[in-house]
Amino acid sequence: MIPVILSGGTGSRLWPLSRQAYPKQFLPLVGSQSMFQDTLTRLPEGMGAPLIVANDEHRFIVKEQLEAINLKSRSILLEPFGRNTAPAVALAAMEIARENPEEIMLVLPADHAIDQPALFHRVLAAGQVTAKKGALVLFGVTPDRPETGYGYIASGEQADAATGALKVSRFIEKPDARTATALLQEGGYFWNSGMFMFRADAYLEELKKHSPDIYDTCALAASNYTRDLGFTRIPAEIFEHCPDDSIDYAVMEHTNRAVLVPLDSGWNDVGSWSALWDINEKDDSDNVIIGDACLEDSRGCLVHSKDKLVTMLGVENLVVVDTKDAVMVAHRDRVQDVKKLVNQLNGSQRTEAICHREVYRPWGSYDSIDMGSRFQVKRITVKPGEKLSLQKHHHRAEHWIVVSGTAEVTRGDDTFLLAENESTYIPIGTVHRLANPGKIPLELIEVQSGTYLGEDDIERLQDNYGRTETESEPAREQDEIPVASVKA
């Protein structure tokens, strides 16, 4: 069985912690590992190497987080942009079918929590028996409350007595509270977990039958892959014509091969701040505190703050999330609407919707700690053995002051070392590079000065990570993608 991990979401309902360039699946929301890492490490032993489908701009995050848990992937497919789950799974199935069309695929979102992995493993074993016979298996979560944030699946008669699999009767969109209550009381309905299992050939057969446009576009894209630096790139000029559709709409609602295997193993999609409140330990007043907070006469609140003290007095059912560059306050009953705030920020072209103040890159990270009309101050960390691209700027000069570690500096035709408390100056237009030849992280302060300080003022001449100038964004260097360094 090959795990196929879908990691292309942005998790906008968990803003400001989850952002477009550093989404929730790469954050340690429910433990010391990221949710992406948890998804992989909870899999049963003996499974094949995972195939990852990710957004191109997250490629370095995926690579580093796999390395952090000492796991090698079968392949990392890079989508140039999202086209929903049906095309993503189709491309994964075509990649797997090259070697074995009857290989079973376990399709999992990268951002779900499961607190009873042993039960989860037993359910997967039951699903595998049914999938081998050619069924398209989806896992339905047994509901324990009238939830309006999930879609529902109505089950039919028994499909497989040995495994408890049920035929799928129909799919129901996210209901209102009254409908959700009625479904729970009636019984026979399950939450749609978004997790699937099927043979690669079975999925492709049904996709070709019910959504031929998706199948044909993906087949053309799969025959024109390019591969570099351990990644498999999906051609944008072909993929842009692919319909944007989910597995449910494209296949599962139309096929007669869909069966449901009940799942009752402490599942949560961690899709909102209220979901995070649900699964975390609470104090005597039902408050969840993550980070530094002091609450008095407050009940049912969630506070997430790692950088500063948050205090709350005489409030109920509030969510307060503090990051280095944004604070979000919402009523716990309204957190499903956080996405509306993100849409508003995007409409105003606010960078806070895209990336954090501290940005992680394949070589390390930088934190923009101060900024004015003609200057910017960054705290830069370079990992041992890594180096930035060879580059130059046309509108800004840079001053580098080493705080700790050793810096290898290329400036024009000269290359030299800087130790702690030493500094250097990079004039406008000078070709330069920063590297860490040492065994400990290099920490330095960079002071930029000039008429224009945008991160698109970069001419990259050579780069170890295969990045190009055209990948950069005007506000912040999105070509150098945030890389979460969450260790196992």
Express each pLDDT in 209-254 by its tens digit: 999 999 999 999 999 999 988 899 999 999 999 999 999 999 999 9
Q: Which domains does the chain have, with CATH numbers?
A: 2-268 (3.90.550.10), 279-347 (no CATH), 363-464 (2.60.120.10)
Express each pLDDT in 165-189 by its tens digit: 999 999 999 999 999 999 999 999 9
CB–CB of 146/187 below 8 Å? no
What does the pLDDT read at residue 423? Answer: 97
Q: Which element (helix H / strand E) includes 182?
A: helix 177-186
b vs e for 403-435, b when ≥16 Cβ sit within 10 Å of the residue's Cβ? eebbbbbbbeeeeeebeeeeebebeeeebbbbb
Express each pLDDT in 90-145 by its tens digit: 999 999 999 999 999 999 999 999 999 999 999 999 999 999 999 999 999 999 89
Work out the average pLDDT over 272-297. 95
DSSP collapsed to 3 states, 142-173: CCCCCCCCCCEEEEEEEEECCCCEEEEEEEEC
- Point out which residues pair with 400 in neighbouring strands: 424, 446
Work out the average pLDDT over 24-28. 95
Spatial separation of the C-alpha atoms in residues 136 and 132, rounded to whole Å: 9
- Pairing state between β 104-109 and 442-450: unpaired
What does the pLDDT read at residue 483? Answer: 33
CB–CB of 47/106 below 8 Å? yes
pTM, to two decimals = 0.87
What does the pLDDT read at residue 467? Answer: 73
Q: How confident is the model at residue 277 (pLDDT cuts 50, 70, 90)?
A: very high
What's the N-to-C CA distance of the chain in angstroms?
A: 24
What does the pLDDT read at residue 476? Answer: 40
CB–CB of 189/155 below 8 Å? yes
Express each pLDDT in 93-103 by its tens digit: 999 999 999 99
Q: How confident is the model at residue 468 (pLDDT cuts 50, 70, 90)?
A: low
DSSP state of 467: -
Q: Is the pLDDT of residue 62 over 50?
A: yes
- What is the Cβ-side half-sphere exposure of residue 458, based on CA atoms within 13 angstroms? 28
What does the pLDDT read at residue 469? Answer: 54
Q: Is the pLDDT of residue 471 over 60?
A: no
Q: Is the pLDDT of residue 472 over 80?
A: no
What does the pLDDT read at residue 479? Answer: 35
DSSP state of 112: -
What does the pLDDT read at residue 477? Answer: 37
